[in-house]
A and B are shown apart, each in its own frame.
Chain A
Amino acid sequence: MTIKNEKNGSTLKLIVEGRVDTSTSKEFEEKAKADLGGVEELVLDFTQLNYISSAGLRVLLSLQKIMNKQGSMKIVGANDIVKDIFEVTGFSEILTVE
């Protein structure tokens, strides 16, 4: 997994590539949370994300809770397999997936 971040005013975009799973979810959480101060819009670009397991869903839930307090969060570019995982777990109801 690699994460690139682009900050533009109060918008933070995280471009996540590879897999967010048991091995990588902690790094994903730490990197995402480290940059959230003052962010009002968080965009997670999942165009290059291959898949996500429940360990990654846990991080998304945690980020969503933070952003519910300080602004908004959306996921863009998720592939069909990742969208399927959101659907099956009910996460498509919690997250904004474009």
Chain B
Amino acid sequence: MKELTVDAAIENIETVTNFINEELEQLNCPMKAQIQIDVAIDELFGNIARYAYNPATGKATVRIEVDKSPLSVVITFIDHGKPFDPLSAATPDITLSAEERGIGGLGIFLVKKSMDLVEYEFENGHNILKIKKNLE
């Protein structure tokens, strides 16, 4: 298990992505899975950076755990900002035309579609969001 705690800020999306990618590269993670995970980090850490402490600032922790058989990673995002369950966002209607289309909920929808598991809990004042991706 490895973890990184940084300011929940947009500038740190790249820091977090690099931290996770270093771990994934050691696991010979397939390119497609790595990019899906990078997109998930952009969506989830981006959400924390924009909303969790707004208008104040605070810290966020990102943790990665590896399971060897079958090879998979669990990445956990933890903040102590406002309670927010991203999984409660309405599923976007992806059949609407460009003119009718809203964009809310699209990020978390993309994460749900590309990850094998997405779980949220609020515990002891912390938002804990967990994603799991099978790598084989």
Contacts and interface: CB of A to CB of B under 8 A. Distances in A.
Interface string A86-98: 0011100110000
Give the contact-size bracket for chain A: 20 to 34
Contact of A22 (B42, B94, B99, B113): B42
Interface of B: 10-11, 13-14, 31-32, 35-36, 38-39, 42-43, 46, 49, 92, 94-99, 101, 103, 106-107, 109-110, 113-114
Give the secondary structure class of B's interface.
helix
Given A23-B42, A53-B39, A81-B31, 9 more contacts: A19-B38, A21-B39, A22-B49, A57-B106, A61-B103, A68-B99, A81-B32, A85-B39, A88-B114
Contacts, number: 70
A68 B11 CA distance: 34
Contacts of A64: 98
B97 A94 contact: yes
Give the secondary structure class of A's interface.
helix
A89 B102 CA distance: 12
Given A22-B13, A53-B42, A68-B99, A89 B35 contact: no
